[in-house]
Structure 1
Amino acid sequence: MFRTIKSDIQAARERDPAARSSLEILLTYSGVHAVILHRLAHAICRKHIPLLPRIISHLSRFVTGIEIHPAAVIGQGFFIDHGMGVVVGETAEIGDHVTLYQGVTLGGTGNERGKRHPTLGNHVIVGAGAKVLGGIVVGHHVRIGANAVVLKTIPDHSTVVGIPGKVIHRRSEEGDLDHVKMRDPIADQFEALEIKILALKREVHEKQGQNKPSQKLEQTSGDKEPD
C-alpha cells in the first residue's frame, strides 16, 4: 500500500505544474489526502471488516469534500486535482495513472444492484464536472472533456465531449495523453468557431467595400440636375 501511495504522490508532482515538492503535496493536497484515506479504507474493506471502512470514507468526505466508496478499486498513480465534489461509486474500477478533476462523478444510473458504476482504463483523464454513469467501460488513453455526460462504452485513445458524450477524435496508439501539453477539445471548438466568425466578418466587409463605388455613383447621378 505504501508503494502505491508513493506513486499517487509522484503522480501529483508530475501532473500539477503548481506542485513544488512531495512534502507540500502530502501536507496540503486534499485530493491526495482522499486517496490515501481510501487506500486505508479499501484495505480494511477487503478484510471484510464491517463499518470501519465506511467511517473512514465518511471522515474523508467531511475533511476533503471528496467521496470515494471503500469498495471502489483504484490503480496506482491516481490523482484528483482540486478535488472538491468528486464522487466515486461502490463498483467503480479505475486503472493506473488516471486523473480526475473537480466535480467528477463516477456514478450509477438507477437503483440496480451488481456492477452499476463505470470502469476506467489506464491513462484516462476526466475533465471538471464530467459525469461517467452506469456499468460502462472507458478504454485506455481516453480524455473526457469538462461537463461531458458519458453513458456509453468508449473505445481506447478517444476524446469525448458533450451531453450526451460523443467521441470527436481518436488518436493512434502512439498518441500522447500528457494533460499539460494536450489541447482542450472544447477550447478547440471555440477557436474554430471564432475563426469562422472572423472569416464571415471579413467577407461582409469586402462586399460592403465593393458596393460603395456603385452607391456613390448612384448618389452622384441622383444629385445631378437635369438639363
Structure 2
Amino acid sequence: MQPQAVMKKQSFTALSSTVLVIAALASPQALAQSVNPIGTLTASPNLVPAGTRPTLTWSVTYPVSVMDYVTIKIPGGITPKQNLVCDVRIIGASVTTQDAKGKTVYLETLGQILCNGASTWSTIFDGLNTDTRIQTQAIVKSFTATANQPINFGGYYINKVKSFAYTSQIGDNVRFQVNGDTPPSNLPGCNDASLNSFLKPYLNASGKVQIGPMDVIIFMELTTNNKATLGYDLQDLVFLVTFTKPLNP
C-alpha cells in the first residue's frame, strides 16, 4: 500500500503546484486583458516510489506583444514588420462647442487613415459622439496592412468650416500607446471628472493603458497644438487598432 499512498501524495502535491501557478499567472487583471501565460506541469514517472522524487517539466507559452510585430514612431505612425490584418474601431469623438443657448453640443468629427503606400487619405469615420458606431465601438475599417508600409492616422472637425487637420505624420497631436503604457500627462487621469466615459474601460485602476496584447490605442487632440492649454487633452478622437496574423501570410 505504500506506493499508492505515495502516489496520492504526489498527485496532491502536483495539483497544489498547478493551482498556485495558475493563481500567480492569472490574476483578475490579467484575465480581463487575456494576456496571461498558459502553461502545463507534468511529472515523470506517474507513480513515484517511496524515497525518490519525480521529474517536473514546465511548458509555458508567454503572450505575444504587438511590439513584436510593429514599430511605432511619433511622428511616423505604425509600421508592421510583416503583413498583418488590421481592424480599426472607433472609441469616441468628443469635440464640442456651445450653441446660441449655451448648451454644449458635439461637433461633426472626421477620422482618416493613410496606409499601404497610398498617396491620399481615406475617411474611416464621419459623425458625432452620439453615433451608433461609437456606442457599439464598431469596426470602421478592416484591411491587410502591408509589411514595412507606415499606417498613419489623422482627424479634424467641422464647426461651420473645416478645422485644421492634425495627423501622425507631423507633430505629436496623434499619440499611439500599447497595453501597460502610462498615458500622456495631458490626458486626464482615470478618476478625473474631465476624462470622457468612453475612455474609462481602457485605463486600469493605476491609470495605465488596459487593452489587448495586440492592440494599439490612438489618442488625438484636434482643437489645438498648445500643450499649455486646458483644451489639449488628447481625447477629441480615439481609435483602437487590433492586429492579427493573416490566415494565409
Bigger relative contact order, structure 1 or 2 (CA pairs below 8 A, ≥6 apart): 2
What TM-score, normalized to structure 2? Answer: 0.20
What TM-score, normalized to structure 1? Answer: 0.22
From the CA coordinates, give the structure whose radius of gyration is larger.
1
Query: Which structure shows the bigger proportion of residues in helix conformation?
Result: 1
